[in-house]
């Protein structure tokens, strides 16, 4: 792949510009093209010149073009554009043996070719590198969160003078983006619902979006609920741990990125979020994705929800709550066989997993598990084959991911539940699995700590 910047550098006028002049990224470069004697040889030489890296390659750069002479082009003559950084027409010593032999045999003929470069050929990173001053080249804003048609930036102070041009380039290079916003405050412990203030940098102030993830559709106002497209892998990873027919308690469910896809797989989910707007969107997602038999939405405080969830599930099980799955097999009208019966999936009496995706403060909710199953020891091993629930608690930790970072998290968990866990496997009593979710900031990581609820905590007297 030939970087556009090796072919052509934008003029000095582009550097430190506050408005976007797309014409500065256009040029006509002298190059050479290889005219093929017989069009049946085109595919062969295209492969060979690509292997020798003499064929022009690059984003939106066409290596196979019509003959530059319009009259010959109308006759169907085509040629292969050669990379001007590799092939010098006046310097045969720069040619590969493949090119030399093809020219000697007459299969190929070199002709001059004007290679036209314009703004469309540049990646958004290369455009921004051409614009940013030399002292701002290290951490150019290149990534962004997205939700539907909205791109969400978090621009650092030193790049704020260029925020509008950054936004415009992102819109130009990402056709599905129609609105670009910049976060103007923090998300996390500073904001109870993980929403944020923002400014619109480009496009209309329209944050009503539709997102598809995990085979499900979510519709929401991005300004009123929390959504992070960078967590899609984590959503899928955890949902894959659930088994059909289990109950999962999603304590900070948001609009349902864990709950709704899991329910699609036949998992019962008690899904809670304190934000009334998230709760409304969760209810809408449950209906839209047709999983109302498997998801029960709640709009409670997370502390309260943890303390009540086990009792609510047990009551539902004893009531005989169930999901009734209609058969998907169509029976012919002429068939005399009786139609297949619906399948009934009963709600089990215990919760198998708790998900706590509020990394800024989720650990501070763990003390609520004390006494969760007090008086119900008979529901679990050794009285039955059922194990105590696995807790998936997300949290932040300082970089790097080393023993010190892990120990800090272990200390915080011990402070809440009174048990010190050892790094290891979530399936081993007294151990916890530490999964690094993603890089959040230069000095911050996001973890998911997974451990089975200790018996001393689950069966302790309730406060």
Measured in degrees and rounded to the nearest 5, phi and psi for residue 329 equal -75, 125
Sheet holding 198-202, edge to edge: 145-147, 150-153, 179-183, 198-202
Burial class (CB in 10 A: 0-12, 13-18, 19+), 363: buried
Is residue 14 pLDDT above 90, yes or no? no
Annotated ligand binding at 67? The verdict is: no
Sheet holding 27-36, edge to edge: 64-66, 78-81, 27-36, 108-117
Higher model confidence: residue 363 or residue 229?
363
pLDDT digits (tens, 9 = 90+) for 169-218: 999 999 999 999 998 875 544 466 777 788 999 999 999 999 999 999 99
Of 207, 210, 211, nearest to 180 by C-alpha is: 207
Is residue 420 pLDDT above 70, yes or no? yes
Burial class (CB in 10 A: 0-12, 13-18, 19+), 453: buried
pLDDT digits (tens, 9 = 90+) for 154-171: 888 898 998 999 999 999
pLDDT digits (tens, 9 = 90+) for 94-112: 889 999 999 999 999 999 9
Which value, to the nearest 10 degrees, does the dihedral of the CA atoms of residues 92, 97, 98, 103 take?
40
pLDDT of residue 333: 66
Give dist(CA 262, CA 235) in Å, integer. Answer: 9
Kindly give the pairing relationship between strand 322-325 and strand 208-213. unpaired
Annotated ligand binding at 401? The verdict is: no
Please state, for a pLDDT cut of 90, what percent of the chain lies above it: 62
pLDDT of residue 203: 94
Average of pLDDT values for 135-139?
A: 82
pLDDT of residue 143: 79
Annotated ligand binding at 235? The verdict is: yes
Give dist(CA 116, CA 135) in Å, integer. Answer: 30
Q: Which domains does the chain have, with CATH numbers?
A: 29-117 (3.30.70), 124-206 (3.30.300.110), 227-458 (3.40.50.150)
Is residue 402 pLDDT above 80, yes or no? yes
pLDDT of residue 267: 97
Annotated ligand binding at 254? The verdict is: no
For the whole prediction, is pTM greater than 0.85?
no
Instruction: Check: CB of residue 259 under 8 Å from CB of residue 295.
Output: yes
Average of pLDDT values for 338-352?
A: 88
């Amino acid at each position: 792949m030939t970087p556009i910047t090796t072919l052509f550098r934008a003029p000095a006028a582009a550097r430190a510009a506050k408005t976007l002049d797309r014409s500065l990224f256009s040029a006509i470069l002298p190059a050479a093209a290889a005219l093929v004697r017989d069009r049946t040889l085109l595919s062969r030489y295209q492969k060979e010149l690509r292997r020798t890296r003499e064929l022009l390659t690059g984003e939106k750069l066409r290596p196979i073009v019509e003959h530059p002479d319009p009259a010959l082009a109308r006759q169907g003559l085509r040629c292969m554009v050669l990379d001007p950084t590799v092939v010098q027409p006046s310097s045969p010593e720069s040619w590969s043996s493949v090119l030399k032999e093809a020219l000697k045999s007459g299969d190929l003929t070199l002709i001059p070719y004007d290679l036209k470069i314009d703004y469309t050929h540049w990646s958004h990173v290369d455009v921004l590198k051409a614009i940013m001053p030399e002292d701002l080249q290290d951490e150019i804003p290149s990534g962004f969160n997205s939700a539907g048609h909205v791109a969400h930036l978090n621009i650092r102070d030193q790049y704020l003078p260029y925020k509008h041009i950054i936004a415009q380039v992102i819109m130009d290079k990402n056709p599905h983006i129609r609105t670009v916003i910049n976060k103007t405050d923090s998300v996390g412990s500073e904001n109870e619902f993980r929403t944020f203030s923002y400014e619109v940098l480009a496009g209309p102030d329209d944050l009503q979006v539709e997102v598809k993830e995990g085979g499900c559709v979510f519709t929401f106002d991005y300004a009123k609920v929390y959504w992070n497209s960078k967590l899609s892998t984590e959503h899928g990873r955890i949902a894959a741990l659930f088994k059909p027919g289990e109950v999962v308690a999603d304590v900070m469910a948001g609009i349902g990125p864990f709950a709704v896809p899991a329910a699609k797989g036949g998992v019962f989910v008690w899904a809670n979020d304190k934000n009334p707007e998230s709760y409304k969107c969760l209810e809408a997602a449950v209906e839209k994705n047709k999983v109302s038999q498997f998801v029960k939405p709640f709009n409670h405080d997370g502390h309260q929800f943890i303390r009540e969830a086990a009792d609510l599930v047990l009551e539902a099980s004893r009531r005989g709550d169930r999901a009734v799955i209609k058969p998907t097999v169509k029976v012919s009208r002429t068939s005399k066989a009786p139609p297949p019966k619906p399948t009934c999936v009963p709600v089990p009496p215990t919760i198998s997993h708790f998900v706590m995706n509020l990394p800024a403060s989720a650990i501070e909710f763990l003390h609520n598990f004390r006494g969760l199953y007090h008086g119900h020891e008979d529901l679990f091993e050794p009285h039955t084959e059922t194990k105590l629930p696995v807790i998936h608690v997300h949290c932040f930790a300082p970089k790097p991911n080393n023993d010190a970072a892990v120990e800090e998290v272990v200390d915080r968990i011990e402070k809440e539940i009174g048990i010190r866990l050892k790094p290891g496997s979530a399936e081993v009593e007294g151990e916890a699995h530490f999964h690094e979710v993603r890089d959040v900031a230069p000095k911050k990581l996001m973890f998911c700590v997974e451990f089975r609820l200790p018996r001393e905590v689950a069966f302790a007297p309730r406060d």
